[in-house]
Amino acid sequence: MSFKEIIAGTFITALALGRPVTAQTTYTLQQALQMAKTNNPVLKNEQFNSTIVQSDIITAGLRPNPVINNQSLQLVQPGKFPENSSWYSGYNRQIWWQVTKPFQLPVQRQNKINFAEQNLKLTQKQYAETERNLYQAVAQKWLDVWAAGKQLDILSNAKNNIDSLATINRLRLKNQVITTTDLARTELLANQYKIQQKSAQQVYYNELQNLKFLLGTKDSIRVDTADHFLFTFPPQLTDIITEATANRSDIQAIRTNLDVADANIKLQKSSALPTPELGLIYNPQNKAHYLGFYGTLEIPIFSKNQGEIRKSQVIRQQAEQQLLTTEAKIQTEIQTAYLAYQTQKHNLQNFSQLLTQSQAILSSVKYSYLRGGTTIIDFLEAQRSWLDTQQQYYDVLQQYRQSYIDLLYASGLINQIAQ
């Protein structure tokens, strides 16, 4: 289909839907992914998570506050007052001032900070995995819009062809070249295409709105139907698997989760150590001044944080198992996606010739029909065959592009395209 026909189909779509034709931004697949990376509302929401976790690093680095304690005792029996002393006299009062501070061990503070820093790295890796999943959704919706647009273009082209034939047949009927049956059959097919075209227009519009949401834009957009998906994969399947198991965002997140688990084990073990609390005491008693030292230390006899230590170790084992599972999952996903990609690529190459043949047959039959060399039935059959071939071709092309997107997603390379 020519570029002019595509533009005409888009113009007809806008008019039929009652929407003004405005300047449209055309997006290739890569441009759509880049737009989503910047403007997608889901990603904007996820970006707050890193800032939230960064606050935990600040909290982990804070030292315990000092504690001030006051106790005041007043003699309330006047008969026990010393001679020549009043209620407010210092001889009848005892005051206790105590300032203490918990002294967190350096290893405890450092382990808290390290645990918070590892959690920040994990959050960043998880954000990359969220991006990968979102890019798949954007690519899928981009492809849905492309497929809906192609279906609309095919139907619009078929309708234009049959409409022109109906116009010619009205003149031919007027000149008594054909029968009313020939014209009726032509107009019936034209009406069928008109109904299908309206349905296709609505599907295209709906898919376009869904894509606009994922891109985070309200502007008028369209997909680039000339995008040939030129991003190349590594030449060997083993190369794709090796790169994916090293760099795919979900496997990186799991490896970072192992670092988090290690940091948590260290933190829980250091949390079993007692935290001393030391301070000074100033104690005026009946106008006699006392200065003292205060110290307290928990004796870890019964509670040594055994439960949290054990839990942190099990979490580490769970992360190890998750790593093994994900590595096997990645290998399986890439193998199936790669084989599907190669199969669909081969199918597309074989189908291209059929597309040219169907167009040549339709043109030949139409030429013969207009000159009385064949019947309307032959022409309508050729028209239906052409339409079926067009739809089958774009179905095969859609399956090829779907397999391309699936391989990008499985290999993790889809994140690179969005950069």
Q: What is the pLDDT of residues 290-329, one digit of tens each?
A: 999 999 999 999 999 999 999 999 999 999 999 999 999 9
The better pLDDT of the pair 348, 408 is held by 408
**pLDDT for 62 beyond 50:** yes
**pLDDT for 12 beyond 80:** no
Whole-number pLDDT of residue 2: 38
Length of the chain: 419
Tell me the domains of the chain and their CATH numbers. Answer: 3-64+104-275+306-417 (1.20.1600.10)
Instruction: List 96's β-bridge partners, or say none.
Output: 71
Q: What is the pLDDT of residues 210-230, one digit of tens each?
A: 999 999 999 999 999 887 777
Q: How far is CA 304 from each of CA 105, 178, 236, 252, 273, rounded to the nearest angstrom?
A: 16, 100, 54, 33, 8
Q: Which segment of 76-80, 274-278, 297-301, 331-335 scores lowest on mean pLDDT?
A: 76-80
**pLDDT for 363 beyond 90:** no
* Cα–Cα dist 216/35, whole Å: 8
Q: Which segment of 92-106, 164-178, 296-310 scores lowest on mean pLDDT?
A: 164-178
Instruction: List 94's β-bridge partners, or say none.
Output: 73, 285
**Per-residue 3-state assignment (H helix, E strand, C coil) for the chain:** CCHHHHHHHHHHHHHHCCCCCCCCEEECHHHHHHHHHHHCHHHHHHCHHHHHHHHHHHHHHCCCCCEEEEEEEECCCHHHCCCCCCCCCHHHEEEEEEEEEECCCHHHHHHHHHHHHHHHHHHHHHHHHHHHHHHHHHHHHHHHHHHHHHHHHHHHHHHHHHHHHHHHHHHHHHCCCCCHHHHHHHHHHHHHHHHHHHHHHHHHHHHHHHHHHHHCCCCCEEECCCCCCCCCCCCCHHHHHHHHHHHCHHHHHHHHHHHHHHHHHHHHHHHCCCCCEEEEEEEEECCEEEEEEEEECCCCCCCCCHHHHHHHHHHHHHHHHHHHHHHHHHHHHHHHHHHHHHHHHHHHHHHHHHHHHHHHHHHHHHHHHHCCCCCHHHHHHHHHHHHHHHHHHHHHHHHHHHHHHHHHHHHCCHHHHCC
Q: What is the pLDDT of residues 258-274, one digit of tens each?
A: 999 999 999 999 999 99
Q: Can you say whether residue 280 is alpha, beta or left, with left for phi > 0 and alpha for psi between -120 and 50 degrees?
A: beta
User: What are the backbone dihedrals phi and psi of residue 318, each rounded to the nearest 5 degrees, phi first?
Assistant: -65, -40
- Percent of the residues in the chain that have a pLDDT greater than 70, as a whole number: 95
**pLDDT for 289 beyond 80:** yes
**pLDDT for 19 beyond 60:** no
The one-letter code for the residue type at 175 is N
Range with the largest mean pLDDT of 71-80, 158-167, 222-231, 398-407: 398-407
**If you average pLDDT over residues 45-55, what whole number do you get?**
95
* End-to-end C-alpha distance for the chain, whole angstroms: 32
The one-letter code for the residue type at 80 is K
**pLDDT for 6 beyond 60:** no
* Cα–Cα dist 207/32, whole Å: 14
Q: CB 5: neighbour CB atoms within 10 A?
A: 13
Whole-number pLDDT of residue 198: 94
**pLDDT for 166 beyond 80:** yes
Whole-number pLDDT of residue 389: 83
Q: What is the mean pLDDT of the chain?
A: 88
Q: How far is CA 241 from each of CA 131, 139, 291, 300, rounded to the nearest angstrom?
A: 20, 21, 72, 50
**pLDDT for 49 beyond 70:** yes
**If you average pLDDT over residues 158-187, what whole number do you get?**
82
- Percent of the residues in the chain that have a pLDDT greater than 90, as a whole number: 61
Whole-number pLDDT of residue 323: 96
Whole-number pLDDT of residue 22: 57
**pLDDT for 4 beyond 50:** no
